[in-house]
Amino acid sequence: MLEPANTWTQGLDFPSRLFESGSNDYELYEEDGEFVLSVELPGFDPSEITASWNDGVLNVAGEHEDEHRGTRRTYHRRFRFPKAIDEDGIEAEYRNGILTVRLPVTVESAVSGTEIEIES
C-alpha cells in the first residue's frame, strides 16, 4: 500500500518555503478610491528599492548587499491592477521596513461596465 506523499516526505529535510507561493510578504487593498499596497522589505535601505509604473503594472524591486557577511538579497514582484490608475498621483513611502505605495483610481474607471438586470 502506498503512503500519502505528505507522510513519506515528512522525515526529509525539505524547507517548507520551497512549496509556498511566497505571497505573504505583501498586503493589497482598496479604500477611499485608491489601492494601497504594503510590501515587507526589512533590512533594505530606501536607496536600494525601486518602484516603477508601466501600463497597469507596478514593479517593485530591491537589492541589498551585506559586505560584512558577503551576502546579497534581491526582491522583485509585479502587481497588475484591474482599474485605471492616476499615474501622476502615485505615492510611495518606506518606513520601518515596509514600503507603502498608494495608487489612486481615476474617476472614470471607478464606475465601469454595464449593470446587468437580474430577473426574478
- 51-93, pLDDT tens digit by residue? 999 988 999 999 998 888 888 999 999 999 877 899 999 999 9
In a domain, 53, yes or no: yes
In a domain, 116, yes or no: no
In a domain, 19, yes or no: no
Closest CA relative to residue 37, chosen from 85, 72, 107: 85
pLDDT in tens, 26-35: 999 989 899 9
DSSP string covering the chain = -PPPHHHHTTTS---GGGGS--GGGEEEEEETTEEEEEEE-TT--GGGEEEEEETTEEEEEEEEEETTTTEEEEEEEEEE-SS-B-GGG-EEEEETTEEEEEEEBPHHHHS-S-PPP---
pLDDT for the residue numbered 70: 87
Q: What is the CATH number of the domain that holds 90?
A: 2.60.40.790
* In contact, 55 and 62? CB cutoff 8 Å: no
**What pTM did the predictor assign?**
0.68
Confidence label for 119 from pLDDT (cuts 50, 70 and 90): confident
In a domain, 55, yes or no: yes
CA distances to 24, 79, 113, 114 from 108, in Å: 32, 21, 11, 13
**Would the pLDDT of 47 be above 90?**
yes
Percent of the chain with pLDDT over 90: 48
CA 103, CA 100: separation in Å to the nearest integer?
A: 10
- Grid cell at residue 105: 483610481
In a domain, 79, yes or no: yes
- Domains contained in the chain, number: 1
Percent of the chain with pLDDT over 70: 75
**Would the pLDDT of 2 be above 90?**
no
Domain with 55 in it: 26-104
In a domain, 89, yes or no: yes
